[in-house]
């Protein structure tokens, strides 16, 4: 574990402040909270992928033991309840807008996926609600399902206002230039890739508990959210017409999110709506099967890639045509993920003069698909890093050297790509070299030969990724279709005795903000981390913020905290000058002490804060009492973490099992605040990427039933599927935030799938296998080996 530089400030591998409650079972997750008199809701979900609802009979159920109320889509419509909105839309190639179908929180006349919410049964106990649900009689007229992405456009139209089942038809880049590069190329490399569909599977299932207070006519919603303020805004303003000031949203401890807990879902809105109707608290907890059916899924793209190389094997052009499965409704960030978060990443770490991409977002009768760890960037990185390997093979170059010669050189920053982004800083060779060293790339052929002597195929594969974190600035995002701001907020409150409360608009659900943010504040104020409390996740306590996703918390939220602390220091210096009878400009603040140059006068933070709240001797003519500052930080640009991940695998030809034997990665996240936490984020990201590449796949059958709807059928990595990871860093500090940080939460999940699939293909190249789709399951690998060896034998 890397050790930090100072005791507990910036750079220290400080153990986490939040650990003890979790280790002793005192965490407080939404499902752990109960309210006196609470009722339980059970949702009856569609078991058809696509059907008209012809009747719903609830009489028998309404009389069942413990049942208090039953609601359907008609009740929702009668009360004028709106659906969850899409948070970001794009303009189509022809200038028309994204087609946005309605999304009722209980289906009204029609269901569009297996798991769609149809009836809410509310009873005294969960068991009674479930039992009563058995008595509800729903008749359906089944319609043709739309499951296959490739043929979705030619299938039955799902939504009235979505012709050809196409929500949007987006493009970016210069089509003529890309086509010209392909026409003039010395080598054209082609690749069809599928990015498999995933279920995020945070270990804590979603849950909600809503309570209405008739005295002050206000609501409190506890919910498993990554962004409580956005939930409040959407439910309050767009769905239930509740004044924002009358709705408090609390996201307490949240057991992982990975994107799936960004969005507002029908269940939490139903709980909130019904809590007033019945004047009782309403609780809902998903079981795992419901999470599989109705949490937003991730990925699910089909890509056609063509890359142009000149005679020197330098990349001259790239064209990517993508079909993105968006599912049955437009979830909050379903449109931005495969477009704005995908297309601009297609330049990767490389100098590519001409790039063009077209992305079509398709409706299918499957669960909504939205951002999952990495969100668009893993999809872009996967196709790019796969085609890089294919290209290297095609021209007979080592894949590491082929990447190196096409890297954007480190003296070329800031670098403007042909797909909208301007990278502020980077050095892609440094992490490549380090990672190659870490895994002993030079020694690989000897290891391959040794494995072969044991009858195993050994392979090595790499991926050099870039990502873009902390989408920004708000004005540019707005011009690109965002309906939200992308700043972050923080309030830093110094108490009279000098302890500090920090209210942040971000949300921590495993990332360790209580510790990382406290380190920033402690470091800047020269106090101990134990004097700093981080408060997040409660719309009543924290300033309006955007929450946590897209690796934005530190780069955007941490920067807001740093700014607020700076404001506190500025004010404290004036107070200190007054107390020490010095000129402002003579006061120096360092190591937690305010001193006057050339004297032995000295004050510490608690002297200043006491004076600020007991302002008997105070510069009233210049300052208001108190020591509390708020900052909103809207970044100037994205941040651009990058790095190289290398996977080494061994394949058993008898079983097709791919064993991951080694992993080395070197990432450039800019400055590190807590290297221990960063390393944990890298590990977790790699594990999820390994899951995608080797094990995980969300599969629907042709009727639209999700056939991988439990942990028995959807395989996630377990401890014995993974090796130890070798993790290291290089640093180029971000140029446009004061902390010089870039973000680290998604990098592992972005970099790892192509590295692993490249390693599998590398292992099997000697026997003639040239392609492998995700997940590289034992069956698939075994068949590929068998087909290849039979083909070789036939020659």
Which tokens belong to 270?
């139903």
Is 705 one of the binding residues for other proteins (CB under 8 A)?
no
Cα-atom radius of gyration of the chain, to the nearest Å? 28
> Binding residues for ligand FES, how many (CB under 6 A)?
4
CB-CB contact of 767 with 782 (8 Å): no
Q: Where are the alpha helices (DSSP H) in 360-468?
A: 377-395, 399-406, 429-438, 444-453
Rounded to whole angstroms, the Cα distance separating 680 from 698 reads 26
Q: Which stretch binds other proteins (CB under 8 A): 27-35, 95-103, 448-456, 547-555?
A: 27-35
3-state secondary structure of 552: coil
Query: Strand runs (DSSP E) across 178-281, as ranges?
Result: 187-198, 207-213, 218-223, 247-250
**Main-chain dihedrals φ then ψ at residue 394, nearest 5 degrees:** -65, -35
Residue 182 is classified by DSSP as H
Of 126-145, binders to ligand FES (CB under 6 A) are none
Q: How far is 15 from 21, CA to CA, in rounded Å?
A: 14
Count, residues near other proteins per rule CB under 8 A: 58
CB closer to ligand FES, 100 vs 253: 253
Told to check if 205 binds other proteins by CB under 8 A, we report yes
- Among ligand FES, other proteins, none, the one that 509 touches (CB under a kind-dependent 5 to 8 A) is other proteins
Residue 276 C-beta: closest distance to other proteins, Å: 25
Q: Is 510 in the site for ligand FES (CB under 6 A)?
A: yes
Shortest spacing between CB 275 and ligand FES, in angstroms:
27
Minimum CB–partner distance for residue 750 and ligand FES (Å)? 20
Residue 31 or 466: the one with the smaller Cβ distance to ligand FES is 31
3-state secondary structure of 733: coil
Q: Smallest gap, in angstroms, from Cβ of residue 37 to other proteins?
A: 15
The item of ligand FES, other proteins, none sharing an interface with residue 287, based on CB under 5 to 8 Å by kind, is other proteins
Q: Is 452 in the site for ligand FES (CB under 6 A)?
A: no
Beta partners for residue 534, in sequence order: 502
In angstroms, the CA 392 to CA 189 distance is: 10
User: 84 vs 255, which CB is nearer to other proteins?
Assistant: 255
- Find out whether 384 and 447 touch, Cβ atoms under 8 Å: no
- Beta strands 593-596 and 602-604 are antiparallel
| Binder of residue 254, out of other proteins, ligand FES, none (CB less than 5 to 8 A by kind) | other proteins
> What does the alpha-carbon distance between residue 173 and residue 170 come to, in Å, rounded to a whole number?
11
For ligand FES, give the closer residue by CB, 711 or 779.
Answer: 711
Which has the closest alpha carbon to 492: 580, 382, 568, 546? 568
Which of 256, 353, 473, 626 forms a contact with ligand FES (CB under 6 A)?
Answer: 256
Nearest 5°: the CA angle 486, 492, 497 is 170
Mark the segment that binds other proteins (CB under 8 A) among 72-80, 388-396, 470-478, 712-720.
712-720
If the CB atoms of residues 462 and 676 are measured against other proteins, the closer one turns out to be 676
Q: If binding is defined by CB under 8 A, does position 31 make contact with other proteins?
A: yes
Strands (E), 717-778: 726-729
Residues for the chain: how many in total?
A: 795
Q: State the nearest-atom distance from the C-beta of 255 to ligand FES, in Å.
A: 6
The site map against other proteins for 277-306 (x = CB under 8 A) is ----------xxx-----------------
684 makes contact, choosing from other proteins, ligand FES, none, with CB < 5 to 8 Å by partner type, with other proteins
Binding mask 178-217 for ligand FES (x = CB under 6 A): -------------------------x--------------
Query: Order of strands across the sheet with 298-309?
Result: 166-173, 354-363, 315-327, 298-309, 187-198
The correct pick among 60, 203, 475, 636 for binding other proteins (CB under 8 A) is 203
Rule CB under 8 A: say whether 256 interacts with other proteins.
Answer: yes
Residue 340 in tokens? 């704005």
In terms of CB distance, is 509 or 563 closer to ligand FES?
509
Give the other-Cβ count within 10 Å of 29's Cβ: 18
Residue nearest to ligand FES (CB): 203
Beta carbons of 120 and 278 less than 8 angstroms apart = no
Toward ligand FES, which CB reaches closer, 78 or 203? 203
> Are 769 and 785 spatial neighbours (Cβ–Cβ below 8 Å)?
yes
Q: Of the two residues 83 and 685, which places its CB atom closer to other proteins in the complex?
A: 685
Query: Using the rule CB under 8 A, which residue among 5, 6, 7, 26 binds other proteins?
Result: 26
Reference 107, options 216, 276, 326, 266; nearest CA is 266
Q: Which residues sit at the interface with ligand FES, rule CB under 6 A?
A: 203, 255-256, 510
Q: Which residues sit at the interface with other proteins, rule CB under 8 A?
A: 1, 15-16, 18-29, 31-32, 34, 127, 201-205, 253-256, 258, 287-289, 509-512, 676-677, 679-680, 683-688, 710-712, 716-720, 722, 724-725, 748
């Amino acid at each position: 574990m890397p050790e930090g530089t100072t005791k507990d400030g910036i750079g220290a591998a400080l153990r986490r402040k939040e650990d003890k409650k979790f280790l002793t079972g005192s965490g407080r997750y939404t499902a752990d909270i109960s309210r006196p008199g609470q009722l339980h809701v059970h949702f009856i979900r569609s078991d058809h992928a696509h059907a008209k609802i012809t009747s719903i009979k609830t009489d028998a159920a309404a009389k069942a033991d413990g049942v208090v109320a039953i609601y359907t889509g008609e009740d929702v419509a009668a009360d004028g309840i709106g659906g969850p909105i899409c948070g970001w839309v794009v303009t189509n190639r022809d200038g028309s807008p994204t087609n946005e179908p309605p999304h009722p929180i209980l289906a009204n006349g029609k269901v569009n996926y297996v798991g769609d919410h149809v009836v809410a049964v509310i009873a005294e106990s969960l068991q009674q609600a479930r039992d009563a649900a058995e008595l509800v009689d729903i008749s359906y007229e089944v319609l043709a399902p739309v499951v296959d992405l490739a043929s979705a456009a030619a299938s039955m139209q799902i939504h009235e206002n979505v012709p050809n089942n196409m929500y949007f038809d987006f493009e970016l880049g210069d089509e003529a230039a890309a086509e010209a590069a392909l026409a003039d190329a010395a080598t054209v490399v082609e690749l069809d890739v599928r990015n498999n569909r995933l279920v995020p599977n945070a270990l804590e299932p979603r849950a909600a508990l809503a309570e209405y207070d008739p005295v002050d006519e206000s609501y409190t919603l506890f919910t498993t959210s990554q962004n409580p303020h956005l939930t409040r805004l959407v439910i309050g303003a767009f769905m239930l017409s509740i004044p924002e000031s009358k709705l408090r949203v609390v996201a307490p401890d949240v057991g992982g999110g990975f994107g799936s807990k960004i969005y507002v879902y029908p269940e939490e809105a139903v709980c909130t709506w019904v809590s007033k109707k019945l004047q009782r608290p309403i609780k809902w907890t998903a079981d795992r099967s419901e999470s599989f059916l109705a949490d937003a899924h991730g990925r699910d793209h089909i890509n056609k890639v063509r890359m142009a190389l000149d005679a020197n094997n330098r990349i001259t052009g790239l064209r990517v045509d993508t079909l993105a499965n968006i599912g049955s409704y437009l979830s909050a960030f379903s449109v931005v993920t495969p477009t704005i978060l995908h297309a601009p990443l297609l330049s990767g770490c490389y100098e590519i003069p001409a790039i063009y991409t077209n992305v079509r977002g398709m409706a299918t009768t499957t669960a909504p698909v939205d951002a999952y760890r990495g969100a668009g960037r893993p999809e872009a990185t996967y196709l790019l890093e796969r085609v890089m390997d294919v290209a290297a093979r095609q021209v007979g170059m080592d894949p590491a050297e082929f990447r190196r010669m096409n890297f954007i050189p480190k003296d070329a920053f800031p670098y403007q790509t042909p797909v909208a982004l301007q990278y502020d800083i980077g050095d892609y060779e440094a992490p490549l070299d380090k990672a190659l060293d870490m895994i002993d790339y030079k020694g690989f052929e000897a290891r391959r030969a040794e494995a072969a002597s044991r009858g195993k195929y050994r392979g090595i594969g790499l991926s050099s990724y870039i990502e873009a974190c902390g989408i920004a600035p708000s004005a540019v995002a707005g011009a690109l279709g965002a309906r939200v701001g992308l700043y972050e907020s923080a309030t830093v409150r110094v108490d009279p005795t000098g302890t500090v409360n920090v209210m942040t608009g971000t949300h921590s659900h495993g990332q360790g903000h209580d510790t990382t943010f406290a380190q920033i504040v402690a470091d800047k104020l020269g106090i101990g981390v134990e004097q700093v409390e981080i408060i997040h996740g409660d719309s009543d306590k924290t300033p309006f913020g955007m929450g946590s996703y897209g690796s934005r918390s530190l780069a955007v939220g941490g920067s807001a905290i740093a700014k607020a602390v700076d404001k506190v220091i500025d004010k404290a210096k004036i107070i200190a000058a007054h107390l020490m009878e010095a000129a402002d400009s003579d006061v120096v603040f360092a190591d937690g002490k305010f001193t006057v140059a050339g004297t032995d006068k000295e004050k510490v933070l608690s002297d200043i804060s006491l004076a600020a709240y007991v302002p008997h001797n105070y510069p009233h003519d210049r300052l208001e009492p108190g020591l509390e500052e708020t900052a909103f930080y809207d970044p100037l640009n994205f941040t651009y973490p990058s790095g190289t991940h290398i996977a080494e695998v061994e394949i058993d030809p008898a079983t097709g099992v791919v064993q991951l034997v080694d992993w080395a990665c070197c990432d450039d996240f800019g400055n590190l605040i807590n290297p221990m936490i960063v390393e944990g984020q890298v590990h977790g990201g790699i594990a999820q990427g390994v899951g995608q590449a080797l094990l995980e796949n969300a599969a629907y059958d042709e009727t639209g039933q999700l056939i991988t709807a439990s942990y028995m059928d959807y395989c996630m990595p377990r401890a014995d599927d993974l090796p130890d990871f070798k993790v290291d860093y290089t640093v180029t500090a971000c140029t446009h935030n004061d902390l010089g940080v870039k973000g680290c939460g998604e990098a592992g999940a972005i970099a790892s799938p192509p590295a692993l699939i490249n390693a599998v293909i590398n292992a099997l190249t000697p026997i003639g296998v040239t392609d492998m789709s995700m997940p590289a399951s034992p069956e698939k690998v075994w068949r590929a080996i068998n087909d290849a060896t039979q083909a070789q034998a036939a020659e």
